[in-house]
A = this chain, B = another copy of it.
Amino acid sequence: MYVGLAFERRHPAGPHGETGMQKHRVTFLPNQKSIEIQRGTSLLEASQRADVFVNNLCGGEGVCGECRVHILTGERQYSDRASAFFSQEEIENGFVLACQTKVLSDLEVEIPLESRLEEEQIMTGEGRESAEIQGGTSPERIPEAPFYPFKPLIRKVYLELPPPTLEDNVTDIARISRELRRKLGWHSFDMSLACLQHLSDTVRDSDWKVTATLAKDKGRFRIQKIEPLDTSTRNYGLAVDVGTTTVVAQLVDLRAGKVLGVEGSHNLQAQYGEDVISRMVYACGKGGLHPLHDAVVKNINTLIESLSSTCHVPREFINAIVAAGNTTMSHFLLGLTPCNIRLEPYVPTADVYPQILASDIGIQINPRGVLETLPSVASYVGGDIVAGIVASGIADHPQIQGLIDIGTNGEIAIGNNEWLVCCSASAGPSFEGGGTRCGMRATRGAIERVEITDGKVKVRTIANAKPRGLCGSGIIDCIYELVRNRIIGSDGKFNRAIKDPRLTLEDGIPQYVIVEGDEAEGGKPIVFTEPDISNLIKSKGSIFSAIKALLGYTGLSFDQLETFYVAGGFGNYLNIPKAIAIGLLPDIPVQKIKFIGNSSLTGARLALTSEEAFEKCVNVSRSMTNIELSNYQPYMDEYIAALFLPHTDRKLFPSVTY
């Protein structure tokens, strides 16, 4: 293998003590954050400790090439893997993979633009933000969330109690329970010891005027706390979508269910791996569970701090959180070992999670505030999909409807108010910009739209910045335009007979130049290669065959689908006709395909504000049948047939005209 040359003498970090107790200072540019760290630590770990984000898809295995950094001063080392990701010139200039580079001296390290975490279009809302409506082929607007009666998970009730007399000297807690029964009609109430310990003083100091906070848990009501005087107007809750890429929280006023604000942030777990698999590998290996648990808790606390400040709601007035996430995220959030989720036969620790005090896992709301995590269905069908089913209303109507959430995995559910089936297909990182030579996440400078006409390429980038690479929607556009212009065939191979200056070869690999080097950020051309196309075909084939196999399992055909909801961040930016044309989505009338936005967040909010919605989530998670695709032969057959553009069976895509 080709091995790059370092400027300075190679300094091996052998087993002979050089990596001992000596420490070095590493300073990261451009933000000048610096950390003193033990000699021999990897540069990636140093950046994590310094809270400096460096992209990292593979979890530090040296295979994704995302953690490119530039050593400005200090000692460097050879990296066997460098040649796969850097030109000779870059290597000579000091570019290294952070995960493969050990700290052997004081260092000054620049994080180049492409390795930095930048502001992304985080879907904080339930609507379609920055959406461009596609003329006559535009999908319908997001439907309203279904109606559920307003009965929040946690309620505050103000009580004016009659003071005790010799004739009526029941205990303090019995007096409170009696008044609660009168007001609410419930039968009995559990209570915590903490709530009893100062009760006697509380009721008397406040002249028998108190506010009880009640949580519902498994059909029983628990008195969480008794506060002096009337605090019933101070009752807030948080709905949280714990996504692999982003964590989004809504602050809700639990007096009436009004959403006061919403904030999103990148999942800080990204520093331990871009997707759930690499994070599990990290957590179940040397890294352990704690960093991943801590990261998502930090995410949520930061969102709470921000929402609390923006909406002028003190944190201690927040009494409840409902979190929805995929099964792995839910495990990380609660500190449950997720290691067997990724190993056959794919067994999570739990699919139903206990109601806990948010403070038990370090989340900073009211110390007696509760956290509910929406139940999962299986290892790869989590509470986010359950929330989506409830948010879309699929389980409420007799019509057959479907839901898909496309990310590294594509989770698909189909059913109605009588039955529900679901599955999860591994899509690979294509739709998130991974596995593609010039792929990137949907951040500033990412090409999100491509049009090719008569050999001319028109692109549009996020924030209209200088192009840096291709994000998911850009990649789909690319493939569609290439096949429409017959530059590639149905098999995804370039038509080498064509004379097009943009069609070039690099190291024998055919590629199409989308943006010339002089027009691109960084000066290098943005290309789309034959292997990129092959990866994308596998990804779309996996998703489409999963939809088809799942429908086949139920004995239905595509035309029996009343609605097909597309949820999640990627879905939101998808051009539906093009997604159909490349064979990612089934060829059904475009008006039947509806964007549903961040339905995980919507479902979490419904569960926060309505007991019925919460119970619906529990019932959906219990009753939905999960089909394990890796174990389902029809899926494998469908998959092979789907590795064409749009499909080997053109009859499945009658509307596709190219």
Interface residues of A (CB under 8 A from B): 164-174, 190-193, 196-201, 204, 218, 220, 334-340, 344-354, 356, 360-361, 378-379, 628, 630-631
Docked complex Cα distance between A628 and B630 (Å): 72
In the bound complex, residues from chain B placing their C-beta under 8 Å from that of A200 are: 336-340, 347, 349
List 5 contacting pairs A-B, 8 Å CB cutoff, sorted by A. A166-B628, A173-B352, A196-B336, A196-B353, A204-B340
Docked complex Cα distance between A356 and B337 (Å): 26
A196 to chain B minimum Cβ distance, whole angstroms, is 5
Query: Does A347 lie within 8 Å of B190, measured CB to CB?
Result: no
A624 to chain B minimum Cβ distance, whole angstroms, is 13
What 6 A-B pairs have minimum CB-CB distances, sorted nearest first?
A200-B337, A169-B345, A166-B345, A173-B350, A200-B349, A166-B631
This chain: copies in complex: 2
Docked complex Cα distance between A218 and B628 (Å): 38
In the bound complex, residues from chain B placing their C-beta under 8 Å from that of A166 are: 344-346, 628, 630-631
In the bound complex, residues from chain B placing their C-beta under 8 Å from that of A346 are: 166, 169
Query: Contact partner of A172 among B170, B191, B348, CB < 8 A?
Result: B348
In the bound complex, residues from chain B placing their C-beta under 8 Å from that of A201 are: 337, 339
In the bound complex, residues from chain B placing their C-beta under 8 Å from that of A338 are: 200
Docked complex Cα distance between A350 and B196 (Å): 8
Query: Does A165 lie within 8 Å of B345, measured CB to CB?
Result: yes
Docked complex Cα distance between A198 and B338 (Å): 10
Query: Does B193 lie within 8 Å of A349, measured CB to CB?
Result: no
Query: Does A198 lie within 8 Å of B337, measured CB to CB?
Result: yes
Docked complex Cα distance between A334 and B193 (Å): 8
Query: Does A349 lie within 8 Å of B171, measured CB to CB?
Result: yes
A176 to chain B minimum Cβ distance, whole angstroms, is 10
Query: Contact partner of A193 among B165, B337, B354, CB < 8 A?
Result: B354
Query: Contact partner of A169 among B169, B347, B356, CB < 8 A?
Result: B347
- Most chain B CB within a 10 A radius of its CB, from A171, A360, A378: A171
Query: Contact partner of A360 among B172, B193, B198, B628, CB < 8 A?
Result: B193
List 7 extra interface pairs beyond A164-B347, A190-B354, A200-B347, CB under 8 A: A166-B346, A166-B630, A171-B349, A172-B347, A173-B352, A193-B361, A197-B335
In the bound complex, residues from chain B placing their C-beta under 8 Å from that of A169 are: 345-347, 378-379, 628
A58 to chain B minimum Cβ distance, whole angstroms, is 24
Docked complex Cα distance between A204 and B351 (Å): 18
In the bound complex, residues from chain B placing their C-beta under 8 Å from that of A356 are: 193
A202 to chain B minimum Cβ distance, whole angstroms, is 9
Known: A336-B196, A339-B200. A172 touches B354 (CB 8 A): no
Query: Does A171 lie within 8 Å of B354, measured CB to CB?
Result: no
Query: Does A354 lie within 8 Å of B199, measured CB to CB?
Result: no
In the bound complex, residues from chain B placing their C-beta under 8 Å from that of A348 are: 171-172
Docked complex Cα distance between A346 and B200 (Å): 12
Docked complex Cα distance between A200 and B346 (Å): 12
In the bound complex, residues from chain B placing their C-beta under 8 Å from that of A218 are: 190, 220
A177 to chain B minimum Cβ distance, whole angstroms, is 10
In the bound complex, residues from chain B placing their C-beta under 8 Å from that of A168 are: 345
Residue of B nearest to A338 (CB): B200
Query: Does B345 lie within 8 Å of A192, measured CB to CB?
Result: no
Docked complex Cα distance between A193 and B362 (Å): 14
Docked complex Cα distance between A580 and B371 (Å): 62
In the bound complex, residues from chain B placing their C-beta under 8 Å from that of A199 are: 336-337, 349-350
Docked complex Cα distance between A226 and B172 (Å): 37
Query: Does B190 lie within 8 Å of A351, measured CB to CB?
Result: no
Query: Contact partner of A174 among B171, B335, B351, B379, CB < 8 A?
Result: B351
In the bound complex, residues from chain B placing their C-beta under 8 Å from that of A631 are: 166-167
In the bound complex, residues from chain B placing their C-beta under 8 Å from that of A190 are: 218, 354
In the bound complex, residues from chain B placing their C-beta under 8 Å from that of A353 are: 193, 196
Docked complex Cα distance between A168 and B626 (Å): 12
Docked complex Cα distance between A172 and B352 (Å): 11
Docked complex Cα distance between A170 and B352 (Å): 11
- Most chain B CB within a 10 A radius of its CB, from A197, A199, A201, A346: A197
Docked complex Cα distance between A247 and B618 (Å): 46
- Most chain B CB within a 10 A radius of its CB, from A173, A337, A349: A349
Docked complex Cα distance between A349 and B354 (Å): 29
In the bound complex, residues from chain B placing their C-beta under 8 Å from that of A172 are: 340, 347-350
Query: Does B196 lie within 8 Å of A349, measured CB to CB?
Result: yes
A297 to chain B minimum Cβ distance, whole angstroms, is 14
Query: Does A349 lie within 8 Å of B173, measured CB to CB?
Result: yes
Docked complex Cα distance between A200 and B201 (Å): 44
In the bound complex, residues from chain B placing their C-beta under 8 Å from that of A334 are: 193, 196-197
Docked complex Cα distance between A199 and B344 (Å): 17
Docked complex Cα distance between A286 and B199 (Å): 19
Docked complex Cα distance between A183 and B620 (Å): 27
Docked complex Cα distance between A168 and B346 (Å): 10
Docked complex Cα distance between A220 and B201 (Å): 31
In the bound complex, residues from chain B placing their C-beta under 8 Å from that of A191 are: 350, 354
Docked complex Cα distance between A628 and B166 (Å): 8
Docked complex Cα distance between A587 and B199 (Å): 45
